[in-house]
Structure 1
Amino acid sequence: MARKKRNKVNPDAVVRQLMNIVGEREVLYLKEDLISYECDGYTMTKGMPKAVVFVKNTEHVSQVVRCLNRERIPYIARGAGTGLSGGATPLGGEVIISLVRMKRMLHLDLDNRKAVIEPGFVNLKLTQSISDKGYYYAPDPSSQYACTIGGNVAENSGGAHCLKYGVTTNHILGLEIVLPNGEVVEIGEDGIPDQPGYDLLGLLTGSEGTLGIVTKITVKVLKNPEGKKTVLAYYDDINDASQAVSEIIAAGIIPAALEMMDSIAIEGVESAAYPVGHPLDIAAFLLIEVDGIAAGIDDQIDEILTVCKHNNVREVKVAKDEAERGLWWANRKMGFGAMGAISPDYLVQDGVIPRTRLPEVLIRIAEISKKYDLRIANIFHAGDGNLHPLILFDARIPGESERAAKAGSECLKVCADVGGSITGEHGVGIEKSAEMRFIFSDEEMAAQTNIRAVFNPDDLLNPGKLFPQPGRCVEVKQG
């Protein structure tokens, strides 16, 4: 069958300038090529970019940024596009600078337990490339098979094991960045921690691509733990599961991971790939992992089992081998995607609460579910109170997308009301910018936008993200 001939569209002057920098084949500008870049993993808001530029090195990034500054055209750095808050979504007319081809490991220094990588390096690939040497990279977002570490830096991503090991910022030793004026700077030279002066690494990590474009990253790598064991506990009452979470931490045990799924989430994962055989009539399960020095692992497991039994567990078991442990984690890691097996559409939220308020917050989320007549599944990092309510809806039904968005916002308001936050690892992006008012005053947001203006004075780099935009009306396509 003959391929359909494309309509001939000549590139404009700016696109030709970009082609002169990176090569003609490295720039997309036709509408049919740009559609794939109209949103990231947050699909409720979409916009069309002016062009997509594939850069291969820092010099490319710098030259592209200088060109766009001269032409006063806004631009966005983009990794794999797995973000869940619209941080890499164009609002209309930006040039996307794609970093996916900057994917090399530049240096590995196991003696000093660090690696230097480019931003397009895939998260899981880092662990896979050093595991045979006895090392791994700790931050493990559920999308780690696809997400890039440059994107992780932008969003300060977490993952199931951040309870013990921390989020991305706890593993960054140095960054090379291209500033919005095109200047290349290095921060955290040679990976020396706790340097005197301002913590620019901390400021840039989690800044959602609004302060600079990361082109090189120095990360910590860790030695594989001597021992590791995983527990799965089934509960008939979600309050009992929540109380067990608090008691495990109160006992002085800091698991590597402490995850919870409720009954709707379990329905999803058991309907999709990697089913474990979880009972479908339970209220929730806990997935608990401890690691460290082998000599102490069994004692911690015994104490966890005791806590689970004290809180009316229906069944609790320890993974019998690595294959079973791997199946349990594969089931958990695909939790978000599994919602597609039970709902045409879903919206992922990402709030944080104090652990002790978990039973109360889950009750309020259930009330929101009834109010909007939408099912809400809960998959979350229970150990550090990072909730992920997933609002299930059908965008084909008039009004359901709007109800889902309102339900999501109310879930975040609940988190803020109990002393928590509107995001733990997914970022603010487009999705939650209005909800920043739940946790920050106008004065506090003005202070933060003043910091942004130091780095990004013309607001050309990822404009319209992170903070509310008073007086700015942007037309976007709702999808």
Structure 2
Amino acid sequence: MHGLSQLLNDKQAILYHKEDLISYDCDGFTIHKSLPRAVVFPHSTDEVARIVKYCHDHSLPFLARGAGTGLSGGAIPLNNEVIISMVKMKRLIDIDLDNRRAVVEPGYVNLKLTNQIIERGYYYAPDPSSQYCCTIGGNVAENAGGAHCLKYGVTTNHILGLELVLPNGEIVEIGRNGILDEPGYDLLGLITGSEGTLGIVTKIIVRILKNPEGKQTVLAYFDDIEDGSQAVSDIISAGIVPAALEMMDKTAIEGVEAAAFPVGHPKDIAAVLLIEVDGIAAGIDEQIEQILSVCRHRNVREVRAAKDEKERAAWWANRKTGFGAMGAISPDYLVQDGVIPRSKLPEVLRRINKISEEYDLRIANIFHAGDGNLHPLVLFDARVPGETEKALAAGSACLKVCADVGGTITGEHGVGIEKREEMRFVFTDEEIAAQTDIRSVFNTDNLLNAGKLFPSPSRCAEVKKEIKEKIIG
């Protein structure tokens, strides 16, 4: 560890004793754990580059880590890696309101950016539920979404430029001028969502938006989850594009009402919808009336708009505790993250309910219903022999349903180690081989975050050989 410590201006910014490393043996995917070799805390891009070059030259596996809020195991040190923690690189470097952009370091917390600029009339749109603590660098790695991605898109839609340390220690800039669509290959799109397997982001240029003139939220209770699901499709079909359209089922409601921010949801309700619209103030009331009408045509028990900002904020605080709130009703839970066409929502929820019965495990459903991003939460007790394995199998079955109806296996949480084998639900061996070939261009020696994102080799090596033989005749 002496060699690593010499690369840091702060010689104390390194951990290597076992008792210190235990805190870094997993991220938000706690089912799998593995200790790192060491954890280092660089304060600058140059320090990151020196550390990476040292690891590369000494064949030491390494990976980057932000706040550790990831839910798919992307920051777990499977190979006794050196963890390069980015939490000390947390500066807001620049705010350019004229060009509606800001420059941040990767350890800068998501919500802090909006808090910093909201009084000046601007905000940062991507809003994962963990935005109060997750870092923008981690958001880039996972291409994080959030409640408002229906209208505003996910992280990749708000990234204008990146500074990147490649796995050999070279520093490169992509989109250095912050132009939305530069010519050439879309390297910003390639890096965003690559789950820390192509390089380590050290600086980020993000797009910031003007605060909407008006904003209003509607809450709707349904006695039948299918009525709520149909209301989701009806709202979009009516030509309304809400800023957010969220749904929770009965088990999820039980959790959030037992946790930190209860709002008094009825205990016997089957589903709750939260629908938020924003934009030009003059059109908000008309959209709200349309939404109220749609819900009433779908047998809603109760539907109403928030009476003031305090009530609106309380509803959203309740929703955003959704994942953590499951700890109030279950010793353990596994969060899944599939995507489906909106029209398939009733069918998929029926099939998830059957999976719950088949595995004899409760499954709570919390989802960004507007864009079909589902989050089945499999509730289990790891102290009961075999229940962890059952939970993993049930989660995989939920993802298979999503793939079967024309969806995919992740919308915002990433693949990490959690969904590696499930990549086969949506990609052929040939397609997986093509993607691992791209990775090898950047990460030639596969020292950076190895074992993540792609499934075990199986036929991939054979496919590559077959492709090569066809090319060379």
Band the TM-score falls in, shorter-chain normalisation: over 0.9
Paired residue for 2:456, among 442, 460, 469?
469
Q: Could you tell me which residue of structure 1 aligns to residue 466 of structure 2? A: none
Matched, 1:107 2:94: yes
Q: Could you tell me which residue of structure 2 aligns to residue 386 of structure 1? A: 373
Alignment of 1:209-228 (within 5 A): 209-228=196-215
Matched, 1:33 2:20: yes
Matched, 1:446 2:450: no
Is the Cα–Cα contact under 8 Å of residues 61 and 79 in structure 2 kept in the other structure?
no
Q: Could you tell me which residue of structure 1 aligns to residue 405 of structure 2? A: 418
Matched, 1:281 2:268: yes
**What code does the residue aligned with 2:190 have?**
L
Is the Cα–Cα contact under 8 Å of residues 79 and 450 in structure 2 kept in the other structure?
no
Alignment of 1:135-284 (within 5 A): 135-284=122-271
Three-state SS of the structure 2 residue aligned to 1:465 is coil
Three-state SS of the structure 2 residue aligned to 1:111 is coil
TM-superposition CA deviations, 1:237-269 (whole Å, max 9, x none): 000000000000000000000000000000000
Q: Could you tell me which residue of structure 2 aligns to residue 407 of structure 1? A: 394
**What code does the residue aligned with 1:176 have?**
E
Cα offset, 1:471, TM superposition: 6.6
Matched, 1:134 2:135: no
- What is the root-mean-square deviation of aligned Cα atoms in Å? 0.8
**What code does the residue aligned with 2:433 have?**
A
Paired residue for 2:317, among 312, 317, 330?
330
Q: Could you tell me which residue of structure 2 aligns to residue 18 of structure 1? A: 4
Q: Could you tell me which residue of structure 2 aligns to residue 62 of structure 1? A: 49
How many pairs were matched up? 458
Cα offset, 1:384, TM superposition: 0.3
Alignment of 1:274-423 (within 5 A): 274-423=261-410
Bigger shift: residues 398-407 or 186-195: 186-195
Cα offset, 1:93, TM superposition: 1.2
**What code does the residue aligned with 1:20 have?**
Q
Whole-Å separation in 2 of the counterparts to 1:290 and 1:471: 47
Three-state SS of the structure 1 residue aligned to 2:402 is helix
Cα offset, 1:79, TM superposition: 0.1
**What code does the residue aligned with 1:450 have?**
D
Whole-Å separation in 1 of the counterparts to 2:259 and 2:103: 37
Cα offset, 1:92, TM superposition: 3.4
Whole-Å separation in 2 of the counterparts to 1:426 and 1:461: 19
Q: Could you tell me which residue of structure 1 aligns to residue 468 of structure 2? A: none
Whole-Å separation in 2 of the counterparts to 1:413 and 1:95: 34
Cα offset, 1:73, TM superposition: 0.6
Q: Could you tell me which residue of structure 2 aligns to residue 121 of structure 1? A: 108
TM-superposition CA deviations, 1:120-167 (whole Å, max 9, x none): 000000000111101100000000000000000000000000000000
Cα offset, 1:469, TM superposition: 2.2
* 4+ long deviations beyond 3 Å: none
Whole-Å separation in 1 of the counterparts to 2:78 and 2:177: 37
Cα offset, 1:24, TM superposition: 2.6
Whole-Å separation in 1 of the counterparts to 2:420 and 2:79: 17
Three-state SS of the structure 1 residue aligned to 2:6 is helix
Three-state SS of the structure 2 residue aligned to 1:314 is strand
**What code does the residue aligned with 1:60 have?**
E
Q: Could you tell me which residue of structure 2 aligns to residue 9 of structure 1? A: none
* Structure 1 segments unaligned to the other structure (5+ residues): 1-14, 473-479
TM-superposition CA deviations, 1:390-419 (whole Å, max 9, x none): 000000000000000000000000000000
Q: Percent identity?
A: 74
Whole-Å separation in 1 of the counterparts to 2:312 and 2:55: 49
Cα offset, 1:194, TM superposition: 1.4
Whole-Å separation in 1 of the counterparts to 2:176 and 2:458: 41
Is the Cα–Cα contact under 8 Å of residues 156 and 189 in structure 2 kept in the other structure?
yes
* Structure 2 segments unaligned to the other structure (5+ residues): 460-473
Whole-Å separation in 1 of the counterparts to 2:175 and 2:135: 20
Is the Cα–Cα contact under 8 Å of residues 36 and 83 in structure 2 kept in the other structure?
yes
Bigger shift: residues 121-130 or 19-28: 19-28
